[in-house]
A and B are shown apart, each in its own frame.
Chain A
Amino acid sequence: MAFLNDLAKRGERFAPGHRLCPGCGQSIIVRALLNITDYEIVIANATGCLEVCSGLFPYTSWCVPWIHSAFENAASTIAGAEAMYRVWKRKGRTDKDIKFVALASDGGTYDIGLQALSGAMERWHDFLYLCIDNQAYENTGVQRSSASPFGANTTTTPVGKVKRGKEQRRKDIMSIVEGHHIPYAAQASLHNWRDLMNKIKRALDTKGPTYINVLQPCCTGWGFPPDMTVEVARIAVETCAWPIYEVVDGKVKINYKPKKKLPVEEWFKMQRRFAHMLKPENKDLLGRAQELVDEHWEWLLKREAAGL
């Protein structure tokens, strides 16, 4: 269990002065990762907002060993580093306990990096894959990804005279990850720091491949004021648009159940990308979006109740 008093006294391993947007939640997530553990951490970072904002030559925000190679290969890059670590351990070149972490956003995970992620999990590398999910290609200017929710207004699913945003539902990456039967997978939200940090700690303490999917509300891409990031994350969880749960040994455990599940409309209201969904003529879209949220939430509840 993490206590704020203790955490506050730990040194920073992600230096201030990075270039992330005001209100961006990525630094909250990265600091949670580096703050909760005493392990030495080696990071492979996919191309994306976090990478371009933390490693602009000749500066670096990373007070841990860090490598960025390309967009789609964070998992295979960290796999190579972890394989080399096994050799170092075996040959006595290091006595340190090092944990390996791949960091990528949804584009580098759900889409272009999916193959490398699948391969690295199947080969059972000892690493944590932390997906910072902001539900679009935010770094290149808010293009749709397979993580973008149904109806989202993005720059490649723009709302126009005949089109009404993204026409498909978001990919269920957790189910894909689960299909690899890895020992630990979790979905988290940055507003619940204790839950997020406990999950990171548990993943790092687990041998073998682990996966965490964290919601990262993007104020510039989603369209909300920069002081609302944590609140937007919270309402995503209160509406069950972003359930926070774990899958341990194939069994679902929901970590938070809202006392009164809010309609998804409450989450949509906060964001420009869903503004069109609230217009009377798009009532059908709103209805469908609610159906998709309910379907997924009920499926999770059923699984948990059945011990699956």
Chain B
Amino acid sequence: MGKKVALDGNAAAAHAIRQINPDVIAAFPITPSTQIPMTVSSFIADGLMDTELVTVESEHSAMSACVGAAAAGGRVMTATAAQGLALMWEILYIASSMRLPMVTVIAARALNAPLNIHGDHSDVMGARDAGWIQLFCEDAQEVYDSIIQAIKISENKDVLTPVMVVMDGFNTTHSVEVWEMEEDERVKEFIGEYEPKYPLLDVSRKITYGAWAPPSEYFEHKVNQLTGIIRARPVVKKVGEEFGKVFGRSYDCFELYKLDDAEYAIVMMGSAAGTAKDVVDVLREDGVKAGLLKIRMFRPFPAEEIKEALGNVKVVATLDRVIPAGAYGSPLFNEVRSALYDAPKRPMVIDYIYGLGGRDIQPKHFKEVYENLQRIAKTGKIEKMLDFINIRGKWGK
């Protein structure tokens, strides 16, 4: 039986890592993910796990060592945030292109400048096309559960693609919550053993990794690399269901909250979805047909399922926690709106940006969004395609 514990998101990640006991971790401290390698170090110091911890001199070297270790052959993990993920960027593509399974826990945080250590999705969105599977978590329980599932997803023989498990910096990393920790043995049994397919350390095979591909070869390589991440879609669902059978908490690529008959829907990811659900409940009591679509798997993007889930909604608001300077819309807006383009009854979609650099989003803000959606449904007019939640002053002039 699992046990209820009261610990924060970073501790949830550290305990999942302890139970997974990966062969190698290469990590570098950065707020707000620092507690993950710190706690893991104390677990190793106390003999609770025997991972080789490579305490690298930068995140660039962290991801490089992860690539070296994963190619050598074995289970590899790391954790980072913000500037750290940005510094890893070059090597993220190499990890995914070499089809190396590994799991990186991200404490999503704002990017400089100005310096800000608090939560938003700027860092992760910068890596959204790096070929990694991205799973966004709402709370500590989801972080713990998703890290365990991510090992299985990443190592699936049809997938062999690295996974980012994303939680919101401070909102989730540093909030103490009650969640259920499973028994060590049952977690180990769930993830099973990993047999690397092409280990460098199998010296009899003399594998070459990272050859260079001229124009006559490169394009096919890149298209073939898509196979793994596309195949991840059913695997994420299947592993989420298996997890539910064993531990009683099932997962899909997204979560539909009171969306069946909803006329007004918010689409979002991460910790603020919890607040949105409370607001939906309150509005439902007042007879407003509000609903929520919380996306868990942003990469690969589950477009078909989303098209179906939002097919009967009148107006949709996407809430992004990143500012994509110069783009027509925010990442979630563009994906959702594009997915809906050929839906039989296409809802109107508007774009909101919230929570940059740790700015609060409160129930009243969600209420305002739902009020705006009702107004648009009534008048058929969209006044602002893009708006910012909870900021001072005017913008756009």
Interface residues of A (CB under 8 A from B): 40, 42, 44, 51-52, 55-60, 62-70, 72-73, 75-88, 90, 93-94, 96, 98, 115-116, 118-120, 122-123
**Is A119's CB under 8 angstroms from B56's CB?**
yes
Of chain B, the residue at the smallest CB distance from A87 is: B23
**Is A79's CB under 8 angstroms from B71's CB?**
no
Of chain B, the residue at the smallest CB distance from A59 is: B211
**Is B201's CB under 8 angstroms from A42's CB?**
yes
User: Please, how many angstroms separate the alpha-carbon atoms of A87 and B388 in the complex?
Assistant: 50
B61 at the interface (CB under 8 A from A): yes
Measured between beta carbons, the chain B residues less than 8 angstroms from A51 are 212
Residues of B within 8 A of A (CB-CB), count: 44
User: Please, how many angstroms separate the alpha-carbon atoms of A67 and B23 in the complex?
Assistant: 19
Of chain B, the residue at the smallest CB distance from A83 is: B52
- Which residues of chain B in 201-218 are interfacial with respect to chain A, using CB atoms and an 8 Å cutoff? 201-203, 205-214, 217
Q: Which residue among A56, A70, A120 has the maximum number of chain B CB atoms within 10 Å of its CB?
A: A70
**Is A96's CB under 8 angstroms from B211's CB?**
no
Shortest Cβ distance from residue A209 to the other chain B in the assembled complex, whole angstroms: 14
- Which residues of chain B in 53-70 are interfacial with respect to chain A, using CB atoms and an 8 Å cutoff? 54-58, 60-62, 64-70
**Is A72's CB under 8 angstroms from B200's CB?**
no
Instruction: Give the contacting residue for A81; candidates B61, B94, B200, B205; CB below 8 A.
Output: B200
B91 at the interface (CB under 8 A from A): yes
B368 at the interface (CB under 8 A from A): no
Instruction: Give the contacting residue for A86; candidates B52, B58, B200; CB below 8 A.
Output: B52
B24 at the interface (CB under 8 A from A): yes
Shortest Cβ distance from residue B130 to the other chain A in the assembled complex, whole angstroms: 14
Of chain A, the residue at the smallest CB distance from B90 is: A70
Instruction: Give the contacting residue for B203; candidates A42, A70, A84, A122; CB below 8 A.
Output: A42
Measured between beta carbons, the chain A residues less than 8 angstroms from B71 are 67, 80-81
Shortest Cβ distance from residue A234 to the other chain B in the assembled complex, whole angstroms: 33
Instruction: Give the contacting residue for B69; candidates A55, A80, A120; CB below 8 A.
Output: A80
**Is A63's CB under 8 angstroms from B200's CB?**
no
User: Please, how many angstroms separate the alpha-carbon atoms of A55 and B213 in the complex?
Assistant: 9
User: Please, how many angstroms separate the alpha-carbon atoms of A66 and B209 in the complex?
Assistant: 6
User: Please, how many angstroms separate the alpha-carbon atoms of A63 and B205 in the complex?
Assistant: 9
**Is A65's CB under 8 angstroms from B200's CB?**
yes
B73 at the interface (CB under 8 A from A): yes
**Is A80's CB under 8 angstroms from B73's CB?**
no
**Is B210's CB under 8 angstroms from A69's CB?**
yes
Of chain A, the residue at the smallest CB distance from B216 is: A57
User: Please, how many angstroms separate the alpha-carbon atoms of A76 and B63 in the complex?
Assistant: 9
Shortest Cβ distance from residue B212 to the other chain A in the assembled complex, whole angstroms: 6
User: Please, how many angstroms separate the alpha-carbon atoms of A120 and B62 in the complex?
Assistant: 11
Measured between beta carbons, the chain A residues less than 8 angstroms from B61 are 73, 75-76, 79, 115-116, 119-120
Shortest Cβ distance from residue B243 to the other chain A in the assembled complex, whole angstroms: 26
User: Please, how many angstroms separate the alpha-carbon atoms of A98 and B202 in the complex?
Assistant: 10
Measured between beta carbons, the chain A residues less than 8 angstroms from B101 are none
**Is B64's CB under 8 angstroms from A67's CB?**
no
